[in-house]
Every structure is written in structure tokens, then in C-alpha cells.
Amino acid sequence: MISNYVVSLHQNQSLRTKMTFIRTKLLLILVLSFFMCNLADAQIRGIVVNAKTKYPVEFADVYLLNTNDSSIIDKAIVDSLGHFDFNHPSNLGLLKISYKGYQHCYIDYTNDLGFIDLMPLAFNSTEEVTKKNKKMRRK
């Protein structure tokens, strides 16, 4: 009878040890999955607008640049509403935003940039363009 009790007690301790091991494994999996989610691609997004009119700047180019050598890592094109977004595994870097007729804009980016103002290039409206017409002579 005592031997049955000892065997039963040993089986219960073995079962408890197995349950503790399983709980430890599950906790470890949860912790690792939490860190893996943080290492996942970060979504970088923003809205490019004209700095003076606040209208969207359609089809502007947005470049994600490597901070070490300024090489292009990724590129996005602004849609008709001024929005752009792309995924990147880091939340540190440099964005270059460019469009014809606007000054280039460089930004250290975060995940959500909000509105980004592009400054139009200043043109001198008083400049005149003259064209001289030459008469063609027949020979």
C-alpha cells in the first residue's frame, strides 16, 4: 500500500515537472513572438503637399536612402492624393522626396511622417523669352 502511494506520488511529481516544462516553453514562444513582431517591417507613410497651396503633389518620387552611402534602398511614387507608403525593416534612415519644379526634400524618417511640404522652385515671372525668326532664302 505504501509502495502504491510512493509510485503515485512519483507519477504526480513527474507530471508536474512535465507541465512546468510545457509552460516554460509556451512562455518562451510568446516572448520570442513578441520580439519578432517588433522586428517586422515598419510601414513608412506620409502625404506630400505643395508648401504654398497645400494641394497634393501627385507622382512625386520618394526614395529611401541608406544613411551610410546614400544608395537607394527602396522607391515609392506618390498617388493622386499625395499619399505614399512602403515597408522597410528599420525605422531609421533618410528619405529623399523630389519632383520636377520643386526643391528636393530630405527627411530623417519615422513610421508616420504626416504632411510633408515640398517647396516650389522660384521662377522669375518678369523674364521674357525672345525668339528671332530667320527668313529662309531660296537658292
The string of pLDDT tens digits covering residues 3-45 is 555 556 556 667 677 777 777 776 667 655 655 554 455 678 8
No. of helices (H) and no. of strands (E), the chain: 1, 7
Q: Domain 42-118, what fold?
A: Immunoglobulin-like (2.60.40)
pLDDT of residue 86: 80
What pLDDT digit, counting tens, does each position of 36-85 carry? Answer: 554 455 678 899 999 999 999 999 999 999 888 888 988 999 999 999 98
Model confidence at 101: pLDDT above 90: yes
Neighbours of 21 (CB within 10 A): 10
DSSP 89: S
**Residue 54: closest CA among 96, 117, 114:** 117
State if pTM tops 0.85: no
Hey, what's the cell of 25? 516553453
pLDDT of residue 34: 54
Q: How far is CA 89 from the centre of its chain?
A: 8
Q: Distance (Å, rounded) from C-alpha 86 to C-alpha 62?
A: 10
Cβ atoms 70, 106 nearer than 8 A: no
Cβ atoms 64, 74 nearer than 8 A: yes
